[in-house]
């Protein structure tokens, strides 16, 4: 049963499409005072209180408690004031008007739009804090820097931390590498998420009877976890403009980058929301083990490690094995569990989603 649940969680992590429509079903209770004998009005307020509690419960799965406390007023102003917008449907499970205490109590089952909530939390930067502020590098093929600059602007406005890309990134040698080598290069310069892609466009024909020129620009983007090479999101955008000079291409590039960058951010935050509330895919590299020993490690992690839903032996060659681990937590949490189970094991390398351990 545990393996089946872990497999399901892993499959959900891989499903990027439809993330924005993800929903969570929760049960919540709300109360309100019955004033001047008006039970109907108290009932309405109790329902609103229950729905707010439902939204708060979902937020609690997406954002850590310390961040919630530090940003309580911000959440109250920007999220809790529009509770109804995050609830797609609800039903009343029970209700009671206590005339002795003059309290109306309602219990509801609500479907909360987790994707929409994640988008707005992402806009406030709260999901980024939950994911420990991953740093991002943007590299685009066939781009003079114009489109990349606009993509970076979208990311920066959403609170992402950007790293300067190395000189060798973006050249012919970089694009002749496979995706893994590209990610490794950017990771050496501090990037934890690599946004790779290609841009195209330029001047089209002249507008008849004027000195205007039509311009167009297109961009395709792919966000990849630099340490595990897992694809987080893909997006594309297109822009057009008519202008007398090169400013026309600038406007077309801005449109394309804004569309693609905005879509990419929404997908990334939805993916991170799912990872925060359920589990995330980690890679565990183990040195000094036989294939049989690696299989034993995987089995014990499943049985005894807190938060581990599934551990699968992905490959084994020589004295090194790689496990795929589905876990509620990141690589630092996995390292802590490994130290508990194997006190002599030594962590030799660690990033957000990947861990290397010597046995």
94-129: pLDDT as tens digits? 999 998 899 999 999 999 988 788 778 776 677 787
- Dist. CA 177–CA 238, nearest whole Å: 27
Do residue 243 and residue 285 come from a single domain?
A: no
Report in angstroms the alpha-carbon separations of 36 from 15, 46, 79, 102. 52, 16, 31, 9
Domain count for the chain, please give it.
Answer: 3
pTM exceeds cut of 0.85: no
151-161: pLDDT as tens digits: 999 999 888 99
Residue 106 pLDDT: 96
Give the residue numbers spanning the domain of 269. Answer: 132-277
Q: Is 241 part of any domain?
A: yes
Q: List the CATH number of the domain containing 299.
A: 3.30.70
Q: Is 14 part of any domain?
A: no
Q: Which residues lie below 8 Å from residue 276, measured CB to CB, with a gap of 6+?
A: 61, 62, 63, 127, 130, 131
Q: Which residues pair with 108 in a beta bridge?
A: 28, 92
Closest residue by Cα to residue 113 from 186, 62, 78, 180? 62
pLDDT at 54 over 90: yes
Do residue 38 and residue 123 come from a single domain?
A: yes
How many C-beta atoms lie closer than 10 Å to residue 178's C-beta? 9
pLDDT-based confidence at 201, cuts 50/70/90?
confident
Residue 274 pLDDT: 78
The distance of Cα 124 from the centroid of its chain, to the nearest Å, equals: 14
230-264: pLDDT as tens digits: 999 999 999 998 877 778 889 999 999 999 999 99
- Dist. CA 215–CA 203, nearest whole Å: 4
If you search the block for the tokens 């693609």, which residue do you land on?
260
Q: Is 44 part of any domain?
A: yes
How many C-beta atoms lie closer than 10 Å to residue 187's C-beta? 20
- Dist. CA 41–CA 32, nearest whole Å: 9
Percent of the chain residues past pLDDT 70, beyond the cut = 92
Q: Is 3 part of any domain?
A: no
67-80: pLDDT as tens digits: 777 778 878 877 88
Q: Is 223 part of any domain?
A: yes
Report which DSSP code applies to 232.
Answer: E
Give me the phi and psi of 32, to 5 degrees please.
Answer: -155, 150
């Amino acid at each position: 049963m545990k393996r089946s649940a872990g497999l399901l969680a892993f499959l959900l992590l891989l499903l990027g499409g439809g993330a924005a429509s993800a929903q969570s079903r929760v049960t919540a209770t709300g109360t309100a005072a019955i004033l001047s004998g008006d039970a109907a009005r108290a009932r309405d307020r109790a329902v609103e209180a229950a729905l707010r509690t439902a939204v708060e419960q979902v937020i609690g799965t997406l954002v850590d408690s310390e961040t919630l406390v530090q940003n309580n007023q911000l959440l109250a102003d920007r999220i809790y004031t529009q509770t109804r917008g995050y609830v797609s449907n609800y039903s009343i499970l029970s209700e009671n008007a206590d005339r002795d205490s003059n309290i109306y109590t309602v219990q509801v089952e609500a479907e909360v739009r987790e994707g929409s909530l994640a988008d707005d939390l992402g806009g406030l930067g709260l999901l980024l804090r939950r994911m420990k502020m991953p740093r991002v590098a943007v590299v685009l093929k066939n781009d003079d820097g114009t489109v990349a600059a606009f993509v970076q602007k979208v990311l920066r406005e959403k609170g992402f931390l950007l790293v300067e890309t190395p000189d060798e990134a973006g050249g012919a040698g970089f694009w002749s590498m496979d995706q893994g080598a590209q990610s490794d290069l950017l990771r050496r310069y501090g990037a934890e998420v690599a946004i790779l892609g290609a841009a195209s466009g330029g001047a089209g024909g002249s507008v008849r009877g004027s000195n205007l020129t039509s311009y167009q620009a297109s961009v395709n983007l792919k966000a990849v976890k630099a340490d595990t090479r897992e694809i987080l999101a893909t997006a594309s955008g297109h822009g057009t403009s008519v202008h007398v000079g090169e400013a026309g291409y600038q406007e077309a590039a801005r449109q394309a980058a804004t569309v693609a960058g905005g879509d990419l951010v929404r997908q990334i935050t939805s993916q991170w929301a799912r990872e925060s509330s359920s589990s995330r895919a980690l890679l565990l590299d183990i040195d000094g083990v036989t294939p049989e020993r690696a299989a034993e490690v995987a089995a014990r992690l499943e049985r005894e490690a807190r938060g581990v839903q599934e551990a699968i032996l992905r490959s084994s060659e020589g004295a090194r094995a790689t496990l795929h681990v589905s876990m509620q937590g990141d690589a630092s949490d996995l390292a802590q569990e490994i130290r508990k189970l194997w006190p002599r094991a030594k962590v030799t390398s660690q990033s957000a989603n990947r861990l290397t351990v010597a046995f």
